[in-house]
Structure 1
Amino acid sequence: MKQKLIDWPTFIGSFLLLMAVVLPLILFPEAGREYVGIANTFMTSNFGVLYLAMGLLVFFFLIYVAFSKNGHIKLGEEQEEPEFNTFSWAAMLFAAGIGSSILYWSVIEWVYYYQGPPFGLEPESTDAIAWATAYGMFHWGPIAWAIYTVPALPIAYFFYVRKRNVLKISEAIRPVLGKWVDGPVGKIIDILFIFGLLGGAGTTLALGTPMIAEGVSYLTGIPVTLGMQAIIMLICTVIFAISSASGLKKGIKVLSDLNIWLALFILVVVLIFGPTRFIVETTFNGIGLVLDNFFRMATWVEPFGNLGGFTETGFPEAWTVFYWAWWLVYAPFVGLFIARISRGRTIRSMIFGTMIYGTLGCMLFFGIFGNYGLHLQLSGQFDVISFMNDNGPAATIIAVVAQLPFAYLMVIVFTVLSIIFLATTFDSSSYILASVVQKSVDGEPILWNRLFWAFTLCILPLSLLFLGGLDTLQTASIVGGFPLIFIMFLLAWSFMRASNRDIEASDDYESPTIYLKLRPKKKKRTPLDALKDSNPNRPKE
C-alpha cells in the first residue's frame, strides 16, 4: 500500500538524471572536468548580473512580505503554538542551511580575501585586511538566508494553511502553472530540484570529509588516505541515516540541539582564551563595513574588465556569484525544511527568524573563528598563509584550532562538531528528498524511502572521491542549478497570488490565519442603507 505513495516518475527520473551526469564523469573524468569547467565559466561570466540581481530582489521581496498583510498569516490554526521551541527551530534551520561548510570557510576564507582582495585593492595591504574580515559575513549574511527563505513561503502556505499534504516544489507553483504541474513540467521542476540538492551535497562532502580526516589524523597519527575519507563518509552516512529514520522530533531535532550546544561551546572557548579584544573589535568593524557597503558589495560585477587601464580580478565571479549560485542550489531543500518545521509560526516570524538567526550564527563563526586565525597571522604566532600554501586548506583548519589552549581537546570537539554538522545537513536532506518523491506526506515519509536517499547521498560522492571528481560534481550542480533562478521567481509569484486571493476572499482581515472555508465578504454599509432600514414602509427585498 505504501508503494502507491511514491511518485515513481520523479523518483526514477531524479536517479537517472544523476546517473546521466555522474557516469560520464566516472568514465571520462578529464573530459568531464573540462566541459563542466567551461560551462561554469560561461554561466558565471555571462549571467553574473542575473545572480546578483536575483539576490537583491529576493531580499527586498521578503522585507515587503514580512511587513505586508501576508506576513500576518499563521501557518496552522489560529490558536496553535509553534511545533518546536525557538531554540530548537533556529538550531535545525541553521544546521540544515550551512552544515560543516561553516567550519571550513569561517576559519580560512579570510586568507583568500587577504591575498586576492576585492575592488582592485593591493593584496595583503591594510585595506585588504579590513575587507577580509567583512566579506565572509556578507556572503553568509542576509541575502544568503533570504534566498533560502523564498521557497519556504508557498510550500509552508499550502502545507499548513491550505492543508495540502504534499512537500513538492512543483505543488508550490500550482497557482501560477495550474494543471501543468501535474504533467511533465511539474516532474521536471521536482527533478531539477533533486539534482541540484544531490550535487550540492557533493559540495558539502567535498569540503567536510577532508577536514574531518585531518582532525582524525591529528588525534591518532594515522595519515590521511582515500580509505580513511571513505570510512568517514560511511560513518557520517550511518549517523544521518539513523537520525533521519528516527524522524524530526526524535532524530533531527536532538542532533541539531547537540550540534548548536557544541558550536556555542567551542566559540566561547575561542573568544575567551583567544585574543578577545581583537576578535570583538575586528568583528564589530567588519559588521560596520558590511552595513556601510552592503549595496556596493551586492552589485559589484567589474563591468569595465581590462578596459581603460582597469585590471579585472575575477573576484565577483569567483566568490559572490558562486555563493549566490550555491545558495540557490540548496534553496529549495532548505526552504522545504524550514517550511516543514515552522508549523504554528506566522509568515513574518518565519522570514525574520530565518534571516536573523541564520545571519547571526554565521557572523559569530566568521567573527570569532576567522578573526582568531587572522590574529595568529598578523601577530606572527602562526603563519597561516604559508602553512596553507604548503599543506592545503583542510590541514590548515585543524592546525589553527590546534593553536588554542587544550589543543587536543579542542581538536576532538571540532572534529566531532564537523561530523555532527555534516550529519545534520544530510539527515535533513534525505528527509526532504524522501518527501519530494512521495505523492503525499502524512506524518513522516516512508522509512525505506528516507534510508534510500540517505545512502544515495553518500554512495555517489563516495565513488567520485576515488576518482578525484568531487569538485567537478559540485561545479556541475552549480551549472545545473541555473534554471532555479526562474523557479524562484515562480515561487514568489505563486505565494503572492494564492495568499492575496485568499485574503481578498476572506471576511476577516484582522485574523492572522486565513480559513479556506471562506465566506463571502460582507458588504460595507452606507448611511443610505441605515436610512432605508429606518423606513418601515420600504418594500421587502
Structure 2
Amino acid sequence: MNRSLINWTTFIGALALLTFVTLPLILFPTGGKEVVLMLKDMMTKNLSFVYLSFGLGIFGFLLYLAFSRFGSIKLGEKENLEFSTLSWAAMLFTAGIGASILYWSAIEWVYYYTAPPMGIEPESNKALSWASAYGIFHWGLVPWGIFTLPAVSMAYFFYVRKKPTLKISEACRPLLGNKVDGILGNVIDILFLFGLLGGAGTTLGLTMPLISAGLHDLTGLEETKAMKAFILIVCTCIFALSAYFGLKRGIRLLSDMNLWLSFFLLGFVLLVGPTLFIAETTFNALGIMGSNFLRMASWTEPFNNLGNFSRSGFPETWTVFFWAWWLVFAPFVGLFVARISRGRTIRQLVLGTLVYGTLGSVLFFGILGNYAIYLEMTGAYDVVNAVQTLGPPAAVMGVLNMLPLGKFIVTVFIVLAVIFTATTFDSGSYIIASVVQKEVKGDPMRWNRLFWAFALSILPIVLMYLGGLSTLQTASIVGGIPLLIIMPMLAMSFLKAASHDLSQKDQSSLEEEQEDKIS
C-alpha cells in the first residue's frame, strides 16, 4: 500500500466537504431541507436561461470539434484501440446512465402527459405525443454532450500530452498555469468529487425502491428496511469486486453483461408487445424532437407570470433540473469516457458518445415507455393511476407484469437494475481513486478503489435511512453550480492546447519539407 501516491488534500477534502454538508442535514433535517430546497428553487428559476444556453452551447461546440481539424487528433498517436467498439459503447452508456433509466423510461411520460409543456391540454392526444418525445430529449443529445466535453479535454491531456493524472484541474492548466498545483487546483477537484459523492445517492435513491418493489412482486415479502439493507449489501459487494478487478477484468465484463441483458429485455418487449405501435410511436417521437429540438432546448416561458398569463414551471421542474443533474455527473462520466478512449480520434470520441449514448436512451424510452403508453391507451393497465396512487416503482412492476412470462421478465429487470447500479458505482469508484492519486499508470491502487467503492455506497445508505437522501441530491445539484464556470474553462483549455500543438506540428512538417527540398 503506497500512501505516498495519494493526494491527501483532495482525498480528505472531498470527504470533509461531504461531511460538512450532510451533518447539518442529519442534525437539523427539517431546517436543512428547507434551505436546500430554497436554493434549488432560486437556482432553477433564476438560472434557467444560463443552463439552457449552456446545454445548447456545449452541443454546438462539440459538433464544431468533430468536423473541424481538431476532430482528426488521435488520442495516442501510436496507440491501438484499447477496447472494441461494442465494449466501449457499453461502458460509456452504463457509466453515464445507470439504473435511473430503468426507473424513468417506463413512467416519465406520465408526468408530461398529465402536466404537459407549452400550454398543451393535459391528458390529450397531443400531450401524449409530446410526452413520448420529451423523455428521449431529456436523455438524449444535449445530456450526452454535457458528458462529452470533459471527456474530450481530459482524454487529450492524458493521451496526447501524456499527463500522468486524471484530474479536472490538470485539464485547466493551459488557462490557470501553475495555480492548479496549489489550492485552486485542489478546490476544483474537491468540488468535482463532492458532486459525484452526493450525486451517487440518486442512483441508490431510485434503484433501491425499484429492486425492493420487484422482490415484493416476486416473493410477496414486505418492503422493509432489512430487505433494502440486503439489496444494498449485494449491490455494494458486486461493484466493489468489479472495481477491485479493475477496468478490463471487472468493469468491462460487467458492462458487456449489462448490454446484452438490456438487449434481451428490450428485444423481448418489442417482439411480444405491440411491435408496430412501439415502432411508429418511437419514430413519431423522434420526428417531434427533431423538428422542435431548438424550441425544446430553449423554452423558458418568458411571457408567463405577466398580466393574465400563468407559469407552468415545466422548464425549471424538468429541463433545467435535468441539465443541472447531468452537469453534476459530467466530470465523472467524462473522466471515465476519457480513460477508455485510448486509440480513438476526437471525432470518434465525440460522435460515438453522442450517438451511442442517445441511441441507448432512444431504445429504452422508445420501447419501455411506449409499451406503457399502449397499456394506458388501450385500458389494459392504468399506468397514470398506478403512478399517482401506488407509486412509480409499483407502477413499473405493473407494466412488466402485463407482458407474457411477466414474473420472469421482472426477475430479468431486477438483475439488470442491480448490474446497472454496479456498473455506475464501480466506474465512479475507479475515477475517484484516479483523481485522488498523484499519478495513474494503469489502474489506480486496489485499496484506493475499494475504499471509494464503499464510500460511494455507505454515505448515501446512512442518509437514506435518516431520510435526508433527496435533500442531499438537491444539495449536490446546487453544489454543481461552479461547474458552469469550470466546463467552459475545460473547453478553452483544450482549444488553447490543441491549437498550439497543431501549429507546432504544422511548423515541424513545413521545416521537414524545406529540408527535403534542400537535400
Is the TM-score greater than 0.5? yes
Counterpart of 1:522, as a letter, is E
Counterpart of 1:171, as a letter, is E
**Equivalent position SS for 1:178:** helix
Q: Residues of 2 paired with 1:388 and 1:400: CA distance? A: 11
**Equivalent position SS for 1:309:** coil
The reply to whether residue 490 of structure 1 matches residue 489 of structure 2 is yes
Instruction: Please state how far the C-alpha of 1:316 moved relative to its aligned partner.
Output: 0.2
Per-residue CA deviations over 1:127-175 (Å, capped at 9, x if unaligned) read 1011011000001111110000000112111111111110000001101
Counterpart of 1:61, as a letter, is F
Counterpart of 1:65, as a letter, is L
Q: Is the 8 A contact 1:166 1:439 kept in 2?
A: yes
The reply to whether residue 418 of structure 1 matches residue 417 of structure 2 is yes
Counterpart of 1:431, as a letter, is Y
Aligned pairs (5 A) from 1:253-268: 253-268=252-267
Counterpart position of 1:155 = 154
Counterpart position of 1:539 = none
Counterpart position of 1:72 = 72
Q: Is the 8 A contact 1:431 1:445 kept in 2?
A: yes
Q: Residues of 2 paired with 1:339 and 1:216: CA distance? A: 37
Instruction: Please state how far the C-alpha of 1:402 moved relative to its aligned partner.
Output: 1.1
Counterpart position of 1:20 = 20
Q: Residues of 2 paired with 1:83 and 1:523: CA distance? A: 32
Counterpart of 1:307, as a letter, is L
Q: Residues of 1 paired with 2:506 and 2:321: CA distance? A: 46
Q: Residues of 2 paired with 1:129 and 1:309: CA distance? A: 27
Aligned pairs (5 A) from 1:180-191: 180-191=179-190
Specify whether residues 278 and 520 from structure 1 end up closer, same or farther in structure 2 by C-alpha distance, changes over 3 A only.
closer
**Equivalent position SS for 1:81:** coil
Instruction: Please state how far the C-alpha of 1:440 moved relative to its aligned partner.
Output: 0.5
Counterpart position of 1:51 = 51
Comparing both structures, which one devotes a greater share of its residues to helix? 2
Q: Residues of 2 paired with 1:131 and 1:239: CA distance? A: 38
Higher mean C-alpha displacement, 222-231 vs 201-210: 222-231
The reply to whether residue 31 of structure 1 matches residue 20 of structure 2 is no
**Equivalent position SS for 1:92:** helix
Instruction: Please state how far the C-alpha of 1:235 moved relative to its aligned partner.
Output: 1.1
Instruction: Please state how far the C-alpha of 1:219 moved relative to its aligned partner.
Output: 1.2
Q: Residues of 2 paired with 1:335 and 1:496: CA distance? A: 17
Counterpart position of 2:164 = 165
Higher mean C-alpha displacement, 107-116 vs 380-389: 380-389
The reply to whether residue 435 of structure 1 matches residue 424 of structure 2 is no
Q: Residues of 2 paired with 1:475 and 1:227: CA distance? A: 26
Indicate the percent of aligned positions where both proteins have the same amino acid: 59
The reply to whether residue 83 of structure 1 matches residue 82 of structure 2 is yes
Counterpart position of 1:401 = 400
Instruction: Please state how far the C-alpha of 1:81 moved relative to its aligned partner.
Output: 1.9
Counterpart of 1:87, as a letter, is L
Instruction: Please state how far the C-alpha of 1:212 moved relative to its aligned partner.
Output: 0.7
Q: Is the 8 A contact 1:107 1:370 kept in 2?
A: yes
Q: Residues of 2 paired with 1:393 and 1:247: CA distance? A: 35
**Equivalent position SS for 2:511:** coil
Counterpart position of 2:511 = 522
Per-residue CA deviations over 1:189-247 (Å, capped at 9, x if unaligned) read 00000000111111111111110110111111111122211221121011000000000
Aligned pairs (5 A) from 1:427-506: 427-506=426-505
The reply to whether residue 200 of structure 1 matches residue 199 of structure 2 is yes
**Equivalent position SS for 1:386:** helix
Q: Is the 8 A contact 1:505 1:521 kept in 2?
A: no
Instruction: Please state how far the C-alpha of 1:520 moved relative to its aligned partner.
Output: 7.7
Counterpart position of 2:303 = 304
Instruction: Please state how far the C-alpha of 1:309 moved relative to its aligned partner.
Output: 2.5
Q: Residues of 2 paired with 1:31 and 1:273: CA distance? A: 50
Q: Residues of 2 paired with 1:137 and 1:447: CA distance? A: 38
**Equivalent position SS for 1:262:** helix
Counterpart of 2:50, as a letter, is L
**Equivalent position SS for 1:466:** helix
Q: Residues of 2 paired with 1:305 and 1:42: CA distance? A: 17
Per-residue CA deviations over 1:95-114 (Å, capped at 9, x if unaligned) read 00000001000000000000
Instruction: Please state how far the C-alpha of 1:523 moved relative to its aligned partner.
Output: 8.6
Q: Residues of 1 paired with 2:506 and 2:287: CA distance? A: 46
Per-residue CA deviations over 1:38-64 (Å, capped at 9, x if unaligned) read 000000100111000110000000000
Counterpart position of 2:318 = 319
Q: Residues of 2 paired with 1:122 and 1:520: CA distance? A: 63
Counterpart of 1:161, as a letter, is V
Counterpart position of 1:391 = 390
Instruction: Please state how far the C-alpha of 1:76 moved relative to its aligned partner.
Output: 1.1
Instruction: Please state how far the C-alpha of 1:310 moved relative to its aligned partner.
Output: 1.9
Q: Residues of 1 paired with 2:463 and 2:226: CA distance? A: 13
Counterpart position of 2:270 = 271
* Matched length: 519
Q: Is the 8 A contact 1:226 1:465 kept in 2?
A: no
Counterpart of 1:341, as a letter, is I
Larger gyration radius, structure 1 or structure 2: 1
Per-residue CA deviations over 1:474-501 (Å, capped at 9, x if unaligned) read 1001100011011000000011100110
Counterpart position of 1:375 = 374
Q: Is the 8 A contact 1:203 1:473 kept in 2?
A: no
Instruction: Please state how far the C-alpha of 1:524 moved relative to its aligned partner.
Output: 8.0
Counterpart position of 1:3 = 3
Give the root-mean-square deviation of aligned CA atoms. Answer: 1.6
Q: Residues of 1 paired with 2:39 and 2:328: CA distance? A: 16
Q: Is the 8 A contact 1:66 1:352 kept in 2?
A: yes
Higher mean C-alpha displacement, 334-343 vs 383-392: 383-392
Q: Residues of 1 paired with 2:96 and 2:379: CA distance? A: 35
Q: Residues of 2 paired with 1:434 and 1:383: CA distance? A: 46
Q: Residues of 1 paired with 2:468 and 2:133: CA distance? A: 32
Q: Is the 8 A contact 1:234 1:458 kept in 2?
A: no
Structure 2 unmatched runs, 5+: none
The reply to whether residue 41 of structure 1 matches residue 30 of structure 2 is no
Instruction: Please state how far the C-alpha of 1:326 moved relative to its aligned partner.
Output: 0.6
Q: Residues of 2 paired with 1:362 and 1:342: CA distance? A: 21
Aligned pairs (5 A) from 1:283-298: 283-298=282-297
The reply to whether residue 220 of structure 1 matches residue 209 of structure 2 is no
Counterpart position of 1:143 = 142
Instruction: Please state how far the C-alpha of 1:469 moved relative to its aligned partner.
Output: 1.3
Q: Residues of 2 paired with 1:164 and 1:479: CA distance? A: 31
Counterpart of 2:52, as a letter, is L
Counterpart position of 1:61 = 61
Instruction: Please state how far the C-alpha of 1:305 moved relative to its aligned partner.
Output: 2.4
Q: Residues of 2 paired with 1:446 and 1:74: CA distance? A: 28
What TM-score do you get using the length of structure 2 for normalisation? Answer: 0.98
Instruction: Please state how far the C-alpha of 1:521 moved relative to its aligned partner.
Output: 4.5
Q: Residues of 1 paired with 2:333 and 2:494: CA distance? A: 17
Q: Residues of 1 paired with 2:20 and 2:281: CA distance? A: 47
Counterpart position of 2:357 = 358
Counterpart of 1:35, as a letter, is V
Counterpart position of 2:210 = 211
Instruction: Please state how far the C-alpha of 1:507 moved relative to its aligned partner.
Output: 3.6
Q: Is the 8 A contact 1:113 1:128 kept in 2?
A: yes
Q: Is the 8 A contact 1:167 1:436 kept in 2?
A: yes
Counterpart position of 1:513 = none
